[in-house]
Amino acid sequence: MELSPLVAMVGNPNAGKSALFNALTGARQKVGNYPGVTVERHSGRLALDDGRAVELVDLPGAYSLDPSSPDERVTRDVVTGTQAGERLPDALVVVVDAANLDNHLRFALQLIALGLPVVVALNMVDLAERDGLVLDPAVLERELGVPVVPTVAVRRRGIDVLRARLTALVGGTTADLRRLRPSDGSVDDDIVTLQRRARAIAAAATVSETPVRRWNHAVDAVALHPVVGPVLLATLLFVMFQAVFSWSQAPVAWIESAFAALDDVVRAAMPDGFLRSLLTDGVIAGVGAVLVFLPLILILFLFILVLEASGYMVRAAFLMDRLMAGVGLSGRAFIPLLSSFACAVPGIMATRTIDDEKDRLTTILIAPLMTCSARLPVYSIIIAAFIPARQVAPFIGLQGLVLFGLYVMGIVGAFVAALALRRTVTKGDSSGFMMEMPKYQMPRLGDIAIGLWSRAWIFLKRAGTTIALTTVILWALLSFPQAPAGQKQAEYSVAGRIASGLEVIVRPIGFNHDIALALIPAMAAREVAVAAIGTVYAIDDVEDTRGERSLVDNLRGRWSLPTALAFLMWFVFAPQCISTIAVTRRETNGWRWPAFMVGYLFATAYVMAGITYWLAVFAGL
């Protein structure tokens, strides 16, 4: 098979490689994996001006050809032609940030020295201009000896010229004759020499320059202020969690009524029987119970994506570094941990930016303790059923306070776990914290929309497959065999008998038969617990043939308060999420760490739920 020429986008982190890649390839891109490592390979097709097609790959950002993370290693190996499963690129698009030439040119010089055909994209010229920096691309071109194209990736400026230069470059005569210079990995002295040369070139190419980014510094003066900064961060987080609940109320109600209407339609259209029960009690009840949380998840991700795209997230990491250092982590861990409030899966994937291995592992192991959105269904239904909607102070309701307490519990648990892990299984020198703080930017609507859509899609797929399937299986296991008169279906059925076995173990921490039953399918995902309990009561509730009695009423009638509290505490810790376990396995390359994670979290969940139950019992609740 004739492979089309390969062109790789390379450059420092945040140079705008991905933005440029998107501008060049449009929507046609593929995400794969490099063999043996957990580094994603983003590729797409680009039609050159003469009609030929090339494959474009967006390589992970790096600072030099001397890798310090798996991502950077892939970048080096691809551009030196030593990456398994990848051919040597026919040309490189070296992306540099115009406002940061001193630094980005150094890596560019290293890349140019490799000998592959190169075109330099002088990106972010808009931001450079905003900062009062005027550059002369012709000088750069002369000094570097390769074509230089000024671009603004996010506004598609310069894209056509870039494509024209690439067309001339790919398959031209210059390519194959030059030899690659092997990188020996010991480029320390080189770096200093290159850096000096980079600075000299940058100075030569600078036409005029006014002092840097006044505007940025003014914002930072507030955002990073020793007192105001942390207050601002706390306020932002508070507003974020507040918004998650208040903005979501209306859409949640719409989804609920849509499912109720669907339920009515099915009940009216079908005769009473197994199929109807499967559809209403199984599929509609199960998927509906989970889907109502889509608005919450989207709002949470909206905030996280905006904070990330605006450049604020790194400032938050800066502010949090002191605190994180206290438990043996670094400020870098803050970003993955904050994402884990939405979902631990992207959170754990975001740990890839942590270069210290021990640091990264610890962050992965505690990420599931952040209260992810899948716990919200569980928390909110139990709180609605058992915690009175009373005001304890102006603007502070008891229900909200309990919810807040559960979040705090998770955070405290995570910090204690980090402390303990750093002294035992992930012992090692405390790692450093050194990062570049990107410029503030107005987040772009399109990027945010794409980010949200991909999160929504993952969630919908999960609701449509894993969760629908587990609820249907549970429904089947609960419905057969049919209990004779006088016996409870939830105890007589196959699922009931399995649960009776588990009940022996969880009885000491106050869990009843229904909970034991719900815990098993909830292994797939926490929110299934709610769907499962809903299904149990829907099937079991003989008086309520029309599905009218609410889950809340059922819970109130059947659970004691200590049991409900223990159940809440259980979910603060229990690692009941297949996706989290799977992503941990992928990110740590084996079963050892996910097994450890599941073990320590279940043990903690059991102990903490037990303590909660017995304390509540003795307190006479």
Ligand X SMILES: Nc1nc2c(ncn2[C@@H]2O[C@H](COP(=O)(O)OP(=O)(O)O)[C@@H](O)[C@H]2O)c(=O)[nH]1
Contacting residues toward ligand X, per CB under 6 A: 11, 13-19, 61, 123-124, 126-127, 152-154, 309, 441, 444, 447
Give the binding range for Mg ion (CB under 5 A) out of 11-19, 263-271, 388-396, 500-508. Answer: 11-19
Q: Which is nearer to other proteins, 177 or 207 (CB)?
A: 207
| DSSP string over 162-211 | HHHHHHHHTT-TTTTTSPPPPP-S--HHHHHHHHHHHHHHHHHHEEEE-S
Q: In the complex, what is the shortest distance from the CB of residue 77 to other proteins, in angstroms, rounded to a whole number?
A: 18
Find the shortest distance in angstroms from Cβ 58 to Mg ion. Answer: 6
Could you tell me which of 128, 121, 119, 130 has the C-alpha nearest to residue 150? 121
Least Cβ distance, residue 334 to Mg ion (angstroms): 20
Comparing CB distances to other proteins, the nearer of 244 and 329 is 329
The alpha carbon dihedral of 152, 153, 154, 159 has a sign of positive
29 binds Mg ion (CB under 5 A): no
Q: How far is the CB of 600 from other proteins (least distance, A)?
A: 28
Sorted by sequence, the CB contacts under 8 Å of residue 273 that are 6+ apart come out as none
Binding other proteins by CB under 8 A: which of 28, 31, 32, 68? 68
Q: How far is CA 352 from the centre of its chain?
A: 11
Residue 229 site contact among ligand X, other proteins, Mg ion, none (CB < 5 to 8 Å, cut-off depends on kind): other proteins
* Choice between 101 and 533, CB closer to other proteins: 101
Task: Name the binder of 63 from ligand X, Mg ion, other proteins, none, CB < 5-8 A by kind.
Answer: other proteins
What gap in Å lies between CA 67 and CA 285, rounded to an integer? 51
Q: How far is the CB of 428 from other proteins (least distance, A)?
A: 11
One residue of 3, 8, 18, 91 binding Mg ion per CB under 5 A: 18
Identify which range of 38-46, 185-193, 358-366, 385-393 contacts other proteins by CB under 8 A. Answer: 185-193
Which residue from 130, 197, 199, 276 is in contact with other proteins, where contact means CB under 8 A? Answer: 199
13 contact choice in ligand X, other proteins, Mg ion, none (CB below 5 to 8 Å, kind-dependent):
ligand X
402's tokens: 């309990």
At 347, list the tokens. 């959170």
Q: With contact defined as beta carbons under 8 Å apart, do 394 and 587 qualify?
A: no
Does 217 engage in binding with other proteins (CB under 8 A)?
yes
d(CA 226, CA 247): 32
- Binding test (CB under 8 A) with other proteins, winner from 331, 410, 547, 562: 331
User: In whole angstroms, how close is the CB of 321 to other proteins at the nearest point?
Assistant: 5
d(CA 127, CA 335) in angstroms, rounded, equals 25
3-state secondary structure 302-342: HHHHHHHHHCHHHHHHHHHHHHHHHCCCCHHHHHHHHHCCC
Q: What is the number of the residue whose Cβ is closest to ligand X? A: 16
Tokens, residue 48: 């050159």
Instruction: Point out which span in 102-110, 153-161, 265-273, 585-593 binds other proteins (CB under 8 A).
Output: 102-110
Q: How far is the CB of 14 from other proteins (least distance, A)?
A: 10
Which range touches Mg ion (CB under 5 A), out of 15-23, 77-85, 95-103, 489-497? 15-23
- The nearest distance, CB 437 to other proteins, in angstroms, is 4
Q: Which is nearer to other proteins, 186 or 424 (CB)?
A: 186
Identify the residue among 2, 184, 188, 272 touching other proteins (CB under 8 A). 188
Q: Which is nearer to Mg ion, 18 or 430 (CB)?
A: 18
Q: How far is the CB of 462 from ligand X (least distance, A)?
A: 26
Residue 207, burial from CB neighbour count under 10 angstroms (0-12, 13-18, 19+): exposed
Nearer to ligand X, 152 or 569 (CB): 152
Per CB under 8 A, does 123 bind other proteins?
no
Peptide bond into 295 cis (omega under 30): no
Q: How many angstroms separate the CA atoms of 482 and 493, rounded?
A: 7
- Evaluate whether 457 touches 294 at the Cβ level (below 8 Å): no
By beta-carbon proximity to ligand X, the closer residue of 176 and 436 is: 436
DSSP code of 577?
B
Helix or strand or coil: residue 525? Answer: strand
What's the rounded Cα separation, in Å, for the pair 554 and 385? 9
| 11 three-class SS | strand
* Stretch near Mg ion under the rule CB under 5 A, chosen from 14-22, 305-313, 336-344, 582-590: 14-22
Q: How far, in Å, are 11, 319, 338 from residue 335 at the CA level?
A: 23, 12, 5
Q: Which is nearer to ligand X, 311 or 594 (CB)?
A: 311
Read out DSSP for 131-164? TTEEE-HHHHHHHHTS-EEE-BGGGTBTHHHHHH
| Residue 512 lies near Mg ion (rule: CB under 5 A) | no
Candidates 51, 145, 226, 620: give the one binding other proteins (CB under 8 A).
Answer: 226
- Please choose, from the candidates 503, 519, 518, 524, the residue with its C-alpha nearest in 3D space to the C-alpha of residue 554: 518
**Min dist. Cβ of residue 97 to Mg ion (A):** 13
**Would you say the C-alpha torsion 579, 581, 586, 587 has a positive or negative sign?**
positive
The partner in contact with residue 493, picked from ligand X, other proteins, Mg ion, none with C-beta cut-offs of 5 to 8 angstroms by kind, is: none
Q: Give the β-pairing of 133-135 and 29-33.
A: unpaired
Distance CA 425, CA 146 (A): 50
Selection from other proteins, ligand X, Mg ion, none that 301 binds (CB < 5 to 8 A by kind) is none
- The span of 147-155, 217-225, 277-285, 372-380 binding other proteins (CB under 8 A) equals 217-225
Q: Which of positions 547-586 make contact with other proteins (CB under 8 A)? A: none
Contact region with other proteins (CB under 8 A), list: 59-67, 249-257, 286-294, 557-565: 59-67
Q: How far apart, in whole angstroms, are the C-alpha atoms of residue 519 and residue 517?
A: 6
Pick out residues in 414-453 that bind other proteins (CB under 8 A).
429, 432-437
Q: How far apart are CA 137 and CA 127, in angstroms?
A: 16
Q: Which does 363 bind (CB under 5 to 8 A by kind): ligand X, Mg ion, other proteins, none?
A: none
Using only C-alpha atoms, the chain has a radius of gyration, in whole angstroms, of: 28
Point out which residues bind Mg ion (CB under 5 A).
18
Point out which residues bind other proteins (CB under 8 A).
63-64, 66, 68, 99-103, 106, 131, 133, 188, 191-192, 195-196, 199, 212-213, 216-217, 220-221, 224-226, 229, 314, 317-319, 321-322, 325, 331, 355-356, 429, 432-437
